[in-house]
Structure 1
């Protein structure tokens, strides 16, 4: 087999396209991909947000892809959205990850609308579709424990918080976030709400200087004095314990987020095969390529399990356990696949111009999303032993 023919072979399990809807979304991204790829090096070198790519995603109608059709959107489910983001990562890792953060903030209320007939989510979803709003997530800052301070004032709550890892913050419209109300009558609780990024009390700090995923614009966002009206609070929950909403978040958000990382690993694999084909043939290189594909296939299988859960399961502690086990496996095997890609490609992988070094840096982000390896293993162990997991996150 010639090197060119060898390079053309790509893993085809699990199938990247779930159905016709996914095919349409992937085709749109594939059409935008060359322009995304042409911009990626400049964004990486300058730590600049991929704003032009987001503008093109908006123009293509992908911002509202996950909004249910009866609310004005594309009606895409988790499988379709994951396929879209997986393809996106083949062209620009940062665009895929930053867009995944918006996408999962749409997919969660969309699931609640479709599965639970949750009327309160409809106005936001309609606005996303009609106005092509970009929703921001503050990631780990707003995991189960919550962060920031909410002070009760007349008619609402004054917020003081610093939210890290707020991807796409330079162009976002609404930050979906929360804060801790320490003085609540029933004890400390977390309030959930959206804050308009145009508020004079919101500031993007411009501090995203990272190892990888440099174009995501994941700056800290400072909230200092914005007042959320009482009617603007979507949920109040006890601080520091799992709430049913977080089982929905775990089930829906993480296959979408990790689709981006799976796409990064697939991109690295393709580049490594092409580069390995140019090296002097040896059993060692052949073995490295085989080990790389084995690790990648494990990541693909684990991600497929996450998607199946999101499409078919009900949110629960058990479903969260299965999702988070799969999340750990996707991360572990994607990281291993990209590390092997660096070895299989040889010394050429060390040159920035070849792009593999950037993907090696980008994939490292897969380590840091909840639930990280330690808490996830504790959670799984407690589930297996029938112990309480209420405060394990």
Structure 2
């Protein structure tokens, strides 16, 4: 394991403070960077640690069990390094520079999400205006930009309506030192507070030609970049929520052994058949998560070709895991009793954190649409 237990203990011990103060996980990120975690997925020949996606999912699950918000924030950096690695292993070297920069210490963030844009990667409200030299200036508003206080490189998506071959969706990367970006101080959320995923305003932010990765037609694409982003995002995201479920189950077991029943002569709740069944039900749900995540991660690593079924499998994984984690946390709270309703309870924080799972792409509606199209084909035209 890359992340030592003592590091995870320190990260765990800081999580409640970050949450209460609505503060960014600065010390966590510094310690994770110091042990090489931000270059974990970078191939060894480019200066990284060379972890496979499968290995990284296991580390992210462990980190999320210690501090879900920290794991989710770091996840967005890992999405980019894993995307670059997925492309590289499939013969596309367009993001090799990203791997080299991550190995050198740059922090990458994900700046694609927009309010009201349910097309996600297949459309954009952000303007991408050509600069005449192969680069673009981006103007628009991005939401849920995790790592807002810390990123040095921001992957963005915008729409070019000005070029001769327009419209095109432009995928590019901004450098923070080049300016044109402003992070709003608006991250005051129910959960996942330490991610500080603030709204980011792009005001003519410039990406030079060498930072423009793709110009694609609007709509669904089988491009390696799109596949890489979707695979990395869904699998790593599922790993974070599996970690939340794992920690909730631990806390449920601890509570069952700690709490005693006056009705049953002071015996622990762990002897109560109803409590035992509730903990067992949570464990049965939790036990299904890691095999699903690891199976798809292994398929990505091994270049397994699922063809046009990949998006169905990935979207389904995200929905199943995030929804299952909510079930596990809910059962844990029922076992722990009323003490978990207080803000000082770790289960209270996990309950708030796990709810964020429903908002990440693919959301429930989008995922069901993807799977329906894969199973039934597109809706016939009337």
When residues 186 and 139 of structure 1 are mapped into structure 2, their CA distance, relative to the original with a 3 A threshold, is closer
- The answer for unaligned runs of 5 or more in structure 1 is 1-22
Number of aligned residue pairs: give it.
Answer: 362
Mapped partners of 1:124, 1:162: distance in 2? 24
Aligned counterparts of 1:194 and 1:368: Cα–Cα separation in 2 = 24
User: Partner of 2:248 in structure 1?
Assistant: 268
On the 8 A contact 2:252/2:332 being kept in 1, the answer is yes
Q: What is residue 6 of structure 1 aligned with on the other side?
A: none
- Equivalent residue number for residue 213 of structure 1: 192
In the other structure, the counterpart of 1:134 is 107
Which one of 333, 358, 363 corresponds to residue 349 of structure 2? Answer: 358
**Cα root mean square deviation, aligned:** 1.8
- 26, 33, 37: which one pairs with 1:58? 33
CA contact (8 A) 2:11 2:28 kept: yes
Instruction: Provide Cα deviations, 1:174-227, integer angstroms capped at 9, x if missing partner.
Output: 001121112333332110111012232111112111111000011111110123
Alignment correspondent of 1:292: 282
CA contact (8 A) 2:289 2:321 kept: yes
Deviation (angstroms), 1:231: 3.6
Distance 1:361 1:309 in 2: 32
Deviation at 1:52, TM superposition (A): 0.8
The secondary structure found in structure 1 opposite 2:41 is coil
Cα deviations across residues 109-150 of structure 1 (Å, max 9, x unaligned)? 11212232x233222211211x21110012534532234111
Q: CA deviation at 1:89?
A: 1.1
1:262 deviates by 0.7
TM-score (norm 2): 0.90
| Contact persistence 1:302–1:327 (CA under 8 A) | no
Alignment counterpart, residue 87 of structure 1, candidates 39, 53, 62: 62
Cα separation, 1, equivalents of 2:26 and 2:273: 44
CA contact (8 A) 2:95 2:213 kept: no
Give the structure-1-normalised TM-score. 0.87
Give the match for residue 80 of structure 2. Answer: 105
**3-state SS in 1 of match to 2:157:** strand
1:62-82 Cα deviation digits (max 9, x unpaired): 111110111111111111111
What does residue range 314-393 of structure 1 map to in structure 2 within 5 Å? 314=305, 316-387=307-378
Does the 8 A contact of 1:306 with 1:327 survive in 2? Answer: no
